[in-house]
């Protein structure tokens, strides 16, 4: 079980005249993380360094994690950022720390502490919730059962994302993975059927 962001955060920290601006937000893929990094590079074109760490999935068991020092000495920026993310047990996140150099060198240890503190400040500003895996399901039902099926889906914390009307009603829904068995049990009392799962 891990947490994931529900908002974005932007926090600024000044250490020995260097300004660290940390941005954190929820992501769901590597591509989304890289697009966010590109956006921030455009937003801060004159920044000296744009260091980051991202993690998709469980922070304690993720093969979708990466970090970047962006010109800082190896291991002094990206790794401390990623380490703070893992320590906070937050997944599905990107954290970018933008540095404006203030003229005073921090040294390797000072950089590690600065990027760690910058990441920690952004993480503290985030609101999080427990990650709940979602299941995507396509199902069909007769027209006269649509209203009842909609109530059932809502009662299971599901969301109807698409509805098509043809000879029957076809719905594309997402719902918490742990609600799938309850949905299947209730569908036995309907003339509805699941066509596909995890689309």
Domain layout of the chain by residue ranges: 3-130, 134-197
Q: Say how far apart CA 45 and CA 29 lie, in whole Å.
A: 24
Rounded distance between C-alpha atoms, residue 66 and residue 52, angstroms: 8
Name the CATH topology of 134-197. Alpha-Beta Plaits (3.30.70)
- Residue range 143-152, pLDDT digits in tens: 999 999 999 9
Q: Cβ-count burial of 168 within 10 angstroms (0-12 exposed, 13-18 middle, 19+ buried)?
A: middle
1-11 pLDDT, tens digit per residue, is 899 999 999 99
Q: What mean pLDDT, rounded, does the chain reach? A: 93
Which pLDDT tens digit goes with each residue over 19-30? 999 999 999 999
pTM of structure: 0.77
Is the pLDDT score of 191 beyond 60? Answer: yes
Residue 28, burial from CB neighbour count under 10 angstroms (0-12, 13-18, 19+): exposed
Q: Is 153 helix (H, G, I), strand (E, B) or coil?
A: helix
Tell me what pLDDT residue 178 has.
86
pLDDT (0 to 100) of residue 108? 94
Q: Cα separation of 71 and 69, whole Å?
A: 6
Quick one: CATH architecture of 3-130? 2-Layer Sandwich (3.30)
């Amino acid at each position: 079980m891990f947490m994931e962001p529900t908002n974005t955060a932007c926090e600024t920290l000044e250490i020995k005249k260097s300004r660290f601006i940390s941005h954190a937000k929820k992501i769901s893929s590597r591509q989304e993380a890289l697009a966010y990094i590109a956006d921030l590079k455009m937003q801060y074109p004159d920044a000296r360094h744009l260091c980051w760490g991202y993690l998709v999935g469980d922070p304690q068991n993720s093969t979708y994690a990466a970090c970047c020092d962006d010109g800082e000495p190896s291991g002094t920026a990206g790794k401390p950022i990623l380490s703070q993310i893992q320590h906070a047990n937050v997944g599905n996140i990107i954290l970018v720390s933008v540095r404006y150099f203030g003229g005073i060198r921090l040294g390797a240890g000072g950089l590690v502490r600065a990027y760690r503190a910058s990441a920690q400040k952004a993480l503290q500003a985030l609101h999080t919730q427990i990650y709940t895996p979602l299941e995507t399901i396509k199902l069909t039902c007769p027209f006269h059962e649509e209203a009842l099926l909609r109530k059932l889906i809502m009662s299971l914390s599901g969301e109807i994302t698409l509805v098509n009307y043809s000879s029957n009603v076809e719905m594309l829904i997402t719902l918490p993975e742990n609600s799938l068995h309850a949905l299947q049990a209730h569908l036995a009392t309907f003339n509805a059927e699941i066509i596909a799962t995890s689309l």
